[in-house]
């Protein structure tokens, strides 16, 4: 689904979220993931008639290329506030509320990060996860997984239970 059809679907999802005061999770994969995240920001503004507060989280160890691509795709006039926080510093945003959360999980995904950050999104808000591919989430070995492996087990023994249930 691309272009206008996708944008219409995002608007419909955000209208449902606003009516029920529930959060929605959108997983955006591939080379257009940042474009989808930017469209979610635009859709939130259109549905709620207000500029959203946006939190973008990323793993600081890399170049955070997705952050740059997201900024390129984003109409900055559609945003009330925009905050970039590496996952290592996400405790600093606890207690704050945002309308849109963009989580770059392309380099790593820890369950605690998801649990902590979802609570910063207001009811009717949206969480957008950016990933290279769904297969990468379900079967990829990230830094978090490598820490879990202890002798006599190997990375091949990982079962990715959390990721399969999430997706």
What's the pTM value of the predicted model, to 2 decimals? 0.82
What proportion of the chain, given as a percentage, has pLDDT over 90?
52
DSSP H or E segment with residue 51? none
For 72-108, the pLDDT digits (tens) are 899 888 899 999 999 889 999 999 999 999 999 887 7
First to last CA, the chain: 18
Highest mean pLDDT among 34-48, 109-123, 144-158: 34-48
Instruction: Specify whether the CB–CB gap between 81 and 50 falls below 8 A.
Output: no
Answer yes or no: is pLDDT of 13 > 70: yes
Instruction: Specify whether the CB–CB gap between 51 and 87 falls below 8 A.
Output: no
* pLDDT tier at 151, thresholds 50, 70, 90: confident
Q: Enumerate domains of the chain plus CATH numbers.
A: 3-132 (3.40.50.300)
- Say which residue, 2 or 134, is predicted with more confidence: 134
Looking at residue 145, its pLDDT comes to 56
Answer yes or no: is pLDDT of 147 > 90: no
* pLDDT tier at 62, thresholds 50, 70, 90: low
């Amino acid at each position: 689904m691309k272009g206008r059809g996708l944008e219409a679907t995002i608007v419909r999802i955000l209208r449902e979220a606003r009516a029920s005061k529930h959060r929605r999770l959108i997983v955006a994969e591939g080379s257009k993931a940042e474009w989808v995240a930017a469209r979610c920001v635009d859709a939130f503004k259109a549905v709620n008639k207000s500029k959203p507060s946006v939190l973008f989280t990323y793993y600081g160890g890399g170049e955070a290329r997705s952050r740059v691509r997201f900024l390129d795709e984003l109409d900055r006039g559609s945003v009330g506030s925009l905050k970039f926080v590496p996952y290592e510093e996400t405790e600093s945003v606890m207690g704050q509320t945002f309308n849109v959360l963009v989580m770059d999980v392309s380099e790593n995904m820890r369950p605690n990060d998801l649990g902590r950050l979802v609570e910063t999104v207001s009811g009717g808000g949206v969480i957008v996860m950016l990933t290279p591919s769904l297969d990468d989430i379900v079967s990829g070995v990230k830094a978090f997984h490598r820490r879990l492996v202890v002798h006599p087990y190997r990375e091949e023994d990982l079962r990715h239970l959390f990721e399969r249930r999430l997706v």
